[in-house]
A and B are shown apart, each in its own frame.
Chain A
Amino acid sequence: MTRLAVPKTYKLYIGGKFPRSESGRVYPVATSKGVFLANAAQASRKDARDAVVAARAASSGWAGATGYNRGQVLYRIAELLEGRRAQFVDELRLSEGLSESAAQRQVDAAIDVWVWYAGWADKYVQVAGNGNPVSGPYFNISTPEATGVVAIIAPQESSLLGLVSVIAPALVSGNTVVVVASERAPLAAISLSEVLATSDVPGGVINVLTGSAAEIAPWLARHADVNALDLAGADELAGDLTWIDLQIAGAETLKRVLPPESGVPTPSVERITFFTETKTVWHTKGII
């Protein structure tokens, strides 16, 4: 006798909680062969705004934590992912139609990307900062720090690795993020949220929306409390909207905008520093 499975209800992840979309909408997610998998929440403008509020509220705590602390929290995510490896492999096989080994490679890469970025949290300042030899009796130092709230359109393909490859670098410096998951394959993003919720990442640091990027992204691009946009997965939006429209919308509040790229972004320190601001502090020196 086979056991009747208990399917999971996939919801949004906002402010450390798992709400349904306030709009009450869902959309069906299917396997690559068209078999129904689940109903994912279809996030609305209001959900996006709630997510930005949560991200802003979490900003000072996360940015104010030490790099060492952030590094450990990010590393902890990798530890938890490793323990749930089989679940993610199954999910990717079903939702992306991957072979067992391809799904394993993606999960392993996602875990390794977390580990790689986690190690940067207490180092990138040394690489990107500078002591400046000014011509006068001043102590002068430039250090990068988080830009604030980063709104991200995750890559459509490689739904777990793509997601990790865009959120991890933004988190390293202390940004908080609102990410729109792969529209076609959103389930891994919500399962990742369950990992995040049981890790040490404070609620609101990472907020995950599922639904239509073309619908949600313009609200994020225009939102005055969003500091930067990562349009990694915005090269093929539904309808007439293009990523350039989003960049133009972001110009109103002078957002920092990272344009789309094809495929999964390669891990790089530039992805960390792009979402930072360089602060230069001058202090007078006594003349002894």
Chain B
Amino acid sequence: MPETNRFLDYAPAPESTAILNLRESYGLFIDGEFSDGHGESFPIISPATEAKIAQIATADASDVDRAVAAARRAYSRTWTKLSGADRGKYLFRIARLVQERARELAVAESLDNGKPIKESRDVDVPLVAAWFFYYAGWADKLDYAGLGPNPRSLGVAAQVIPWNFPLLMLAWKIAPALAAGNTVVIKPAETTPLTALIFAEILQQADLPVGVVNIITGAGDTGSLLVNHPDVNKVAFTGSTAVGRAIARSTAGSGKKLTLELGGKAANIVFDDAPMDQAIEGIVNGIFFNQGHVCCAGSRLLVQENVKDEVVDRLKARLSTLRLGDPLDKNTDIGAINSRAQLERIRELSNIGEQEGAERWTADCEIPKNGFWFAPTIFTNVSTSHRIAREEVFGPVLSVLSFRTPAEAISKANNTPYGLSAGIWSSNGSRVLGVADKLRAGVVWINTFNQFDPASPFGGYKESGYGREGGRHGLAAYLTGAALESSGRGSSSAALTKGASK
């Protein structure tokens, strides 16, 4: 090992899986208890070792019916009969139980998803607790949510979530839905249902009334049955733009309220006056956090031409210090790619990047024998027409483009059908605010990246979807009121047009 890299020579420090108390197989969580699914069950594996974790049930049409019926019963008989204060107390209980079982959840998440334990332990799970804690307090304060007096819940919410932040996405969906008074049927991703199923045990410990949250597992077919179920009032989906489009089509005209959080191809813009140490860390965090399996990842680095070489050199040096390997090791920076299918997708797009003429650099790191891995990779000489600069790779692959003027940076940043997030690095206060104004993206991080908070709305422009999750805005997705009737308008100004039409 070269002298400069000797400091990387850590002893392994794996988190023990002894804290887990997993079952061999998991059923569907409907009406407060686990029951068998009628579809074909399937195994889930650790993407780091390919070892089987458990056998998971598949919900077929009859199971989806059962789950939606349970949610409907709970909606009309129990949940809507409770005061907002009591709904809030259940959510507070859930937040506390998540905190109590935080280590167990973090280990399970890293085992099932492949993300480094330092991320599941320090980011995912603490945010899960924060999300429930934040929305718990809203449950009895909905009149202050800015949606007019007495906003009402919608009914049964069908929620389908992705595999990149399994438990965190569950929290983003369930917490506001319950605070607003809805009941839920949620389907975690096929490859990452484990923490959702442990969360079902937390709901039992919280003594949440049965049927208020139902957790069903399966693949895309199960998700499709759920969002298209006629007795569902609300659909919330996080995932790919292709599936989001299909859901927008199939729910058109149904009266179901729809929110979509879809793909992204975020620009991370670095000006020559950026605080460079922080910028390098921010770029690394922006694209290599969670192996790049982040819809808002800063996958397009736009760097001002006069500092491009410096930035790329420093990035390569920094990436050479990242440790790839066992997700449960506390020293691991880069975990496993979540699935073989995703690994193939990343490989395919990276190969196309090379074929299209971009220059590939990959960090020199040892790849474990089993499991799915992709070393941090940077493409330079990327042009805006390259597929790696246009399509969502959803992996640890950064495309570097350059610009000369702020106007060029803005124009390149906005040159995408997506509009989820963007980053700006510069010490010039008026410049960053001016650029932020011009970016067509739902979240703009200035001199930081990949920050999330339950109080902060998150969601996209354009083909990155619609609706917001988080904050006061996140409640609007789960409520209706005088001011929000499906197409009726507010009453405040009705007098203006009263009697004017025939």
Enumerate chain A interface residues (CB-CB to B < 8 A): 96, 98, 102, 105-106, 108-110, 112-113, 116, 127-128, 130, 132-136, 138, 140, 142, 147, 157-158, 161-162, 165, 224, 227, 242-244, 247-248, 250-254, 256-261, 263-271, 277-284
Contacts and interface: CB of A to CB of B under 8 A. Distances in A.
A261 B497 CA distance: 15
Interface in B435-453: 436, 439-448, 451, 453
B11 interface: no
A263 to B, nearest CB: 6
Nearest to B147: A270
A260 B249 CA distance: 17
Given A254-B262, A270-B483, 14 more contacts: A96-B502, A109-B497, A127-B146, A130-B472, A133-B455, A142-B473, A254-B462, A264-B500, A266-B497, A267-B496, A271-B489, A280-B456, A280-B457, A282-B446
Given A140-B456, A267-B493, A282 B466 contact: no
Choose among A110, A134, A282 the residue with the greatest number of B CB atoms under 10 Å from its CB: A282
Contacts of B432: 283
Contacts of B443: 279-282
B260 A161 contact: no
Interface of B: 130, 146, 241, 244-245, 248-249, 252-253, 260, 262, 417, 419, 432-433, 436, 439-448, 451, 453, 455-459, 461-463, 465-466, 468, 471-473, 483-484, 486-494, 496-497, 499-502
Contacts, number: 173
Nearest to A162: B501
A251 B491 CA distance: 30
Nearest to B452: A134
A136 B455 CA distance: 11
Given A130-B471, A132-B471, A281 B490 contact: no
29 contacts: A98-B502, A109-B496, A109-B497, A116-B496, A128-B146, A130-B457, A130-B473, A132-B455, A135-B455, A136-B451, A140-B453, A140-B455, A142-B468, A157-B502, A161-B500, A244-B253, A250-B248, A251-B245, A254-B262, A259-B253, A267-B494, A268-B493, A269-B483, A278-B468, A278-B473, A279-B441, A279-B443, A282-B451, A284-B448
| Chain B, interface SS category | loop
Contact of B490 (A109, A270, A280): A270
A113 B451 contact: no
Contact of A134 (B249, B444, B446, B453): B453
B46 to A, nearest CB: 32
B501 A106 contact: yes
Pairs of residues from A and B, 3 with the lowest C-beta to C-beta distance, nearest first: A244-B253, A109-B500, A251-B248
A142 B489 contact: no
A279 B444 contact: yes
A271 to B, nearest CB: 6
A134 B455 contact: yes
Choose among B253, B442, B483 the residue with the greatest number of A CB atoms under 10 Å from its CB: B253
B425 to A, nearest CB: 10
A278 B459 contact: yes
Contacts of B249: 248, 251-252
B467 to A, nearest CB: 9
Nearest to B455: A132
B489 A267 contact: yes
Choose among B146, B241, B244, B262 the residue with the greatest number of A CB atoms under 10 Å from its CB: B146
A281 B436 contact: yes
B390 to A, nearest CB: 14
Contacts of B489: 261, 265-268, 270-271
Contacts of A277: 419, 440, 442, 461
